[in-house]
Structure 1
C-alpha cells in the first residue's frame, strides 16, 4: 500500500469510528507507530484529522456546534443504557446528596435512581428534574438560571451562585470529550462553568461517557482528568486510552464488559 493510499484509509477509519489510536492504526495497516505518526501529521496539516494524545480524531471533532438533545439521545443508546445501569451501583445510602449533570447519559442514570432510600438530588437538567419530581424518595433541588435549548440545562450566574455554596457526596458528570492533555471538555463556556462548579462541589466524581468521547478534545476544558474518581464507559475504549487514564488514578468501568 502506497503512503497516500494508507493515509486515505486512515482518514476513512478515523472518520467512521470517531477516534483511532496510533497503536490500533499501526496494527491495522501493518506499519510502525512512527509511520502512523508521520501519516497523522500529514492528515492533520491537511485539516482532515486532528491529532490528539495517542491518536487522532476527525477534524470536525473540535467545533462549537452541538447537536440537539433529541439527536444525541438516540446515538449509541445501547451503550448509554449499559453505562447508566452500571452507574446505578454508585448511588449512595439513604440520606446522601447527589449531583446530576445535564446530558443524555445522565438522564438515563436518573431513571435508575433507587426508590428504596431517601436521597437529596441537585440538578441543572430540565428533563432530569421532570423525571424525578414525582419520585417520593427524592428531595429534588433544581438549579435556576437561563436554560440552554440545545442541552436543556440551566446555566449562568444563578446556577453558579448556588453550586459554589454546596458540598455533595457524589456527582454524576457528563462530558463532550475527555483526554489527559485537555481534561474534560465541552463546546460552550457557560455549560463548562456549571460543570466545573459541579466537579468542585463533589466529594466523589463519576464521569459517564461512551468510548467515542475518550481521547477527544473540545473547545473549553472544565476539569482535569485527575479530578475524576471513576469513569464509566463501554468496552470499545481502546487499551491505550484505558491504560493512560488508569495511570492517572481513575477507576475504569466498562459497562457491558470486563471492568
Structure 2
C-alpha cells in the first residue's frame, strides 16, 4: 500500500472517530507500528492531525456536534478505569454528590457500590441505571428531568430548575473538552447551562478527564479552569497541559495507566 493511500486512510479514521491508536492502525492497514508512526509524523508535520502518546487525534477545532455514548464508551478504557477508581476514593459515607453524564462518570458509578449512606444527584440515565441495579436501601438516586442528549444526559430548563433546588458536597464532572483558554467545554449549549447549575450546587468540583480531552474545545464553556477543585487525569497528559493545570487548578492528580502492548516490526512489511 502506497504511503499516500495509507495516510488518507489514517485521516479518514481520525475524522470519523476523533482519535486513533498506533496498535489499531497496524491492524487496519496491515503494516508495522514503525510504518504507522512515520505516517503519523508526516501528517503531524503537515498540520493534518496532532500526534499524541500512542496515536493521534484530530487537529483542534471548535466542535458543535456531540458524539453518542456508544462511540465514546470504547475509547481510552484503561485510562477511564484508573481515573474512575481514584475518583471513587474521594466519596465518603454519608455524602451527597452530583455526577454528570459521560462515559468516565458511568465507569465511576460502578465503583460506588460499596460506599454506604450515599445520595447521588445525576442527569445521566446511564449512571442512574448502574446505581439502581444495586437496589441498596442506603443509596438514594435523584435523577433530573430534561431533554435527552446523544450521551444519554438530561439537560435544559427542567433539569436546571431541579438542580438549583439542591445542594451537594461535590460534583464529579466528565467533559467533552479541556483547554487552557476556553476551560471546560461542551458542544451543547443547554448541557453547558445544566452543568454550570451542578457546579453552583456543589461545594467542590472534581473533573475526571483522560489526556485526549486536552486541547479539545466545544461550542459552549461550562466554567474556567480556576473553578476546578480537583482534576483527575492520566499520566499521558502532555507536560505543558500539566503545567497549566497545576497553575490554575486546586489539585491535579496524574494517574499511571498501562501502555498498550508494543507492536513489533518483525514479520510485517509496509
- TM-score band by shorter chain is 0.7 to 0.9
Normalised by the length of structure 1, the TM-score is: 0.75
Cα deviation digits, residues 215-257 of structure 1 (max 9, x gap): 2211111111111011111110011110111011331112226
1:31 paired residue number: none
**Structure 2 contact 101–124 (Cα < 8 Å) conserved:** yes
Secondary structure, aligned partner of 2:217 = coil
Work out the CA distance in 2 between the residues paired with 1:246 and 1:103.
24
C-alpha spacing 1:63/1:249, structure 2 compared with 1 (3 Å): closer
Deviation, 1:168, is 0.8
2:250 paired residue number: 250
Aligned-CA RMSD value: 2.8
Query: Which structure 2 residues correspond to residues 1-259 of structure 1 after superposition, within 5 A?
Result: 43=47, 48=48, 58-59=58-59, 61-92=61-92, 94-133=93-132, 134-148=135-149, 150-256=150-256
Secondary structure, aligned partner of 1:237 = coil
Cα deviation digits, residues 1-38 of structure 1 (max 9, x gap): xxxxxxx9xxx8xx6996xxxxxxxxxxxxxxxxxxxx
Secondary structure, aligned partner of 1:159 = helix
Work out the CA distance in 2 between the residues paired with 1:116 and 1:247.
32
Cα deviation digits, residues 29-67 of structure 1 (max 9, x gap): xxxxxxxxxx99x95xxxx469xxxxxx73464222222
Work out the CA distance in 2 between the residues paired with 1:61 and 1:72.
18
**Structure 2 contact 63–217 (Cα < 8 Å) conserved:** no
Deviation, 1:197, is 0.9
Cα deviation digits, residues 44-99 of structure 1 (max 9, x gap): xxxx469xxxxxx734642222221111101111110111111111102x222100
Work out the CA distance in 2 between the residues paired with 1:137 and 1:115.
11
Work out the CA distance in 1 between the residues paired with 2:196 and 2:185.
10
**Structure 1 contact 178–184 (Cα < 8 Å) conserved:** yes
**Structure 1 contact 91–114 (Cα < 8 Å) conserved:** no
Secondary structure, aligned partner of 2:248 = coil
**Structure 2 contact 225–249 (Cα < 8 Å) conserved:** no
Deviation, 1:102, is 0.6
Work out the CA distance in 1 between the residues paired with 2:137 and 2:114.
8
Residue segments in structure 1 that go unaligned for 5+ positions in a row: 1-7, 19-38, 51-56
Normalised by the length of structure 2, the TM-score is: 0.72
1:22 paired residue number: none
Residue segments in structure 2 that go unaligned for 5+ positions in a row: 1-6, 20-43, 51-56, 258-270
Work out the CA distance in 1 between the residues paired with 2:108 and 2:115.
16
Work out the CA distance in 2 between the residues paired with 1:76 and 1:64.
22
C-alpha spacing 1:97/1:227, structure 2 compared with 1 (3 Å): same
**Number of residue pairs matched?**
217
